[in-house]
Amino acid sequence: MPRKLAAGNWKMNGTGESLAEIDRLAAALPKAEAEVAVLICPPATLLERMSARLTHSAIATGGQDCHFDESGAHTGDVSAAMLLDAGATHVILGHSERRNDHGETNSDVRSKARTAIAAGLHVVICVGETEAERDAANTLDIIQGQLAGSVPDLVTGENLVIAYEPVWAIGTGKVPSMAQIGEVHDFIRASLERRFGAGVGRSVPLLYGGSVKPANAQEIFAVHNVDGALVGGASLKAADFLPIVEALAAA
């Protein structure tokens, strides 16, 4: 069984005063939960401060992107080594907002994942279909293409997390049916097992993301092969994120 993971993606939200939310979260989760890992991915500007605040906590931190080069002339970009240096253990790669806003391709995501893993980070690779792709019954083909194109060969059960985030469910309040989530998660698991073998395939945590809230978390975590969530809006406030962590621990 993969370890359960409750991950928060703060996206482009948060300044120094938002760290009070992290203090609240850390106070409510004083020690490592045996079954649930907790990860927060703040904007790069907050990463070092947040990591320092969480030194004595079991909550991990991560970046939201990194460059595929180790260093160099890439104005405005952040390298995997810089994320590590700022205290991160994880990095989200291939989020649909990066794919859309910055034209990231599967091949870009794969290169970034290679660099991040080589630097010692765990990668959270995002996949997910648009509404038009779902309407055209192309969801599983799109997911398969993203997995094949974005996930590098060198992953293990230890350094890879996959997040299934249907683009139409992100920030919209719309959530797929539990059967639709289950179908995609079972498909991702089978695809990973085929490519990497049963041992690795089975131990990769599969997260669902897209309008996860305290009110729907329990139902989502009951779905087969859902090992946690990648939460956007509801991860910004400890009062919203904590019940999601608790629902995952109880699942």
- Choice from 232, 238, 240, 248 touching ligand 13P (CB under 6 A): 232
- Cα–Cα distance measured from residue 157 to residue 137, given in angstroms and rounded to the nearest whole number: 30
Residue nearest to ligand 13P (CB): 232
Q: Which is nearer to ligand 13P, 96 or 139 (CB)?
A: 96
**Terminal Cα distance for the chain, rounded:** 13
Question: Could you say whether residue 230 binds ligand 13P (CB under 6 A)?
Answer: yes
Query: Binding marks (x or -) toward ligand 13P, 74..93, rule CB under 6 A?
Result: --------------------
Closest contact distance (angstroms) between CB of 40 and ligand 13P is 12
Residue in 158, 168, 77 with CA at minimum distance from that of residue 121: 158
3-state helix, strand, coil in the chain (%, to 5): 45, 15, 40
- Cα–Cα distance measured from residue 87 to residue 144, given in angstroms and rounded to the nearest whole number: 32
Alpha-carbon torsion, ordered 190, 195, 200, 205, to 10 deg: -50
Question: Could you say whether residue 128 binds ligand 13P (CB under 6 A)?
Answer: no
Tokens of 127: 């996949």
Exactly one of 95, 97, 129, 246 is catalytic; name it.
95
Q: Distances from the Cα of 215 to the Cαs of 29, 171, 176, 181, 222, in angstroms?
A: 20, 15, 15, 17, 13
Q: Which is nearer to ligand 13P, 188 or 196 (CB)?
A: 188
Tokens of 30: 């004083």
Query: Binding marks (x or -) toward ligand 13P, 92..111, rule CB under 6 A?
Result: ---x----------------
- Choice from 26, 125, 143, 231 touching ligand 13P (CB under 6 A): 231
Q: Which is nearer to ligand 13P, 230 or 251 (CB)?
A: 230
Site for ligand 13P, residues 184 to 203, rule: CB under 6 A: none
Active site (annotated) includes residue 70: no
Work out whether strand 36-41 and strand 4-9 pair parallel, antiparallel, or are unpaired: parallel
- Half-sphere exposure of 67 toward its Cβ, with a 13 Å CA cutoff? 13
Question: Could you say whether residue 210 binds ligand 13P (CB under 6 A)?
Answer: yes
Active site (annotated) includes residue 74: no
Closest contact distance (angstroms) between CB of 56 and ligand 13P is 27
Question: Could you say whether residue 152 binds ligand 13P (CB under 6 A)?
Answer: no
Q: Which is nearer to ligand 13P, 196 or 229 (CB)?
A: 229
Exactly one of 21, 97, 104, 165 is catalytic; name it.
165
Residues found near ligand 13P in the complex (CB under 6 A): 9, 95, 165, 170-171, 209-212, 230-234
